[in-house]
A = this chain, B = another copy of it.
Amino acid sequence: MDNKTVRRLKAIVKDENVLTELEDRVCYSYDGTFKRGIPAVVVFPANTQEIVQIVKLANEEKIPIFPRGAGTGLSGGSIPQEGGIALVLTRMNKIKEISQEDLLAVVEPGVVVERFHQEVEKLGLFYPPDPASLKTCTMGGNVAENAGGPRAFKYGVTKDYVLGLEVVTPLGEVMRTGGRTVKNVTGYDLTRLLTGSEGTLGIITEITVRLLPKPKDKKTALVIFDTLMDAANTVKAIIYEGVIPATLEIMDKITINCVENHSKIGLPVDAEAILLIEVDGSKNQVQEDIAIIEKVCTANNCRKIEIASLPEDRERLWRARRAVSSAIVQLKPTKISEDATVPRSRIPEMVKRLRAIAEKYRIHLPVFGHAGDGNLHPNILTDKNDPEEMARVEQAVEEIFKAALDLGGTLSGEHGIGVMKKPFMEWELGEVGLDYLRRIKQAVDPNNILNPGKVF
């Protein structure tokens, strides 16, 4: 990037907020995937007006902008593929308002999700979205990728909580979408269109989210099964009984063994599946629900069910689930975390197909994830420096996507398309759908400035 442009950027955000040294730029060249792309420059704006100026400059000089938060994404959505400007929004990290009466909050995009959880919960309020990366990922990134998490089964994903946005358009204008009311049908739903658009349709500079009263009570159950089918039938039966747990997580045998081997918490390594079920609500509600769940699990031949009420006991049960990500990388250094999602009823069939794919391509494929909403996380453990194996992995990934679509599912439940799944979009959306997306992108970003090379 020529010095003149760098000087102009420094004039906008001040010298210390522009990084040009290679060793600095490398720090902003990756996300949670194994993809890389070194930006020409890294810029840290302080406010909306600075972003407006940067986007206008980028349009003048036809320089791509790659917005990012904490860079924890799992689809390459924030990777600066073509040089250009890495626009880091972490300085914009104010929680501007939390309203107990209107049950909403207004935040800047750089606010870390866990911190936001803590602040609203202090006031007896609740913001459900809880992606695994919540300790580091930002609200802006969550909106851009429409992040989910275990609680999505009962509470929905990020898009179900975004009421309004302030956005800098691809042409560098400030736009407000939605607002402070849950009901709003004034014009097209740009709030939802921008949520999950992976930084390609606008740069999110302010977010208004809906909050809920914090559930008064919680209980957690860890349930062990000798067959995957029993676990699947249990999920089915719980829903038939009219119980919607806050979380309904599943771990397969490979995952169980990795976790036990890694953190020695006494999981039975011969079990075929573990369900981690958490219910929340009023004291009575939780009591009722857990009783039904216990009945259902027993009726479906669970080997063992352990129920915890006290925070420390619940935490102990959660340890198994939380250890998964760090535990499975023992198998191989490179972790490719997929999130192909199928209708709940197809989970057993999907797991069967994943087993077959793992065997066919001789790869490590532990399966865990959110059984409640069919959002499994088949994780491929491999070594990106072994080209022969990576070739097999690529074929396996393709077959995983084919299987998900074949079972009426989707390529991505919560990680987004980014660059990882781009080649497979047409399988799901068809030519017409892709064309419809492209028309929208071209109409609002004629110079293709915002996050080029993503989604399409």
Contact = CB atoms under 8 A, between A and B. Distances in A.
Contacts of A32: none
Given A186-B421, A188-B440, 9 more contacts: A148-B183, A183-B414, A186-B417, A187-B428, A187-B437, A187-B455, A189-B195, A190-B433, A282-B289
A425 interface: yes
A344 interface: yes
A231 B156 CA distance: 31
Interface in A27-43: none
Given A185-B146, A244-B212, A174 B341 contact: no
23 contacts: A99-B345, A102-B345, A156-B160, A156-B182, A157-B183, A173-B435, A181-B341, A181-B410, A184-B410, A185-B196, A185-B413, A185-B415, A186-B411, A186-B417, A187-B425, A187-B434, A187-B455, A188-B437, A188-B455, A189-B196, A189-B197, A213-B243, A284-B285
A369 B242 CA distance: 30
Nearest to A214: B242
Interface string A391-422: 00000000000000000111111111100010
A101 interface: yes
Contacts of A416: 185
A453 interface: no
B443 A183 contact: no
Contacts of A379: none
A205 interface: no
A157 B239 CA distance: 22
List the 3 closest pairs (A to B, CB-CB), nearest first. A192-B192, A183-B413, A443-B443
A446 to B, nearest CB: 9
Contacts of A413: 181, 183-185
A216 interface: yes
A175 B345 contact: no
Nearest to A170: B436
Interface string A265-296: 00000000000000001101101110000000
Contacts of A435: 173
B374 A181 contact: yes
Contact of A239 (B189, B213, B411, B439): B213
Interface string A359-396: 00000000000100111000000000000000000000
B244 A213 contact: yes
A124 interface: yes
B185 A409 contact: no
A316 to B, nearest CB: 27
Contacts of A440: 188, 440, 443-444
Contacts of A181: 341-343, 373-375, 408-410, 413
Given A186-B421, A417-B187, A444 B433 contact: no
Contacts of A101: 236, 239-240, 344-345
Interface in A282-324: 282, 284-285, 287-289
Given A183-B413, A439-B444, A430 B285 contact: no
Nearest to A184: B410
A430 B343 CA distance: 40
Nearest to A101: B345
A88 interface: no
A368 B213 CA distance: 25
Contacts of A213: 239, 242-244
A429 interface: yes
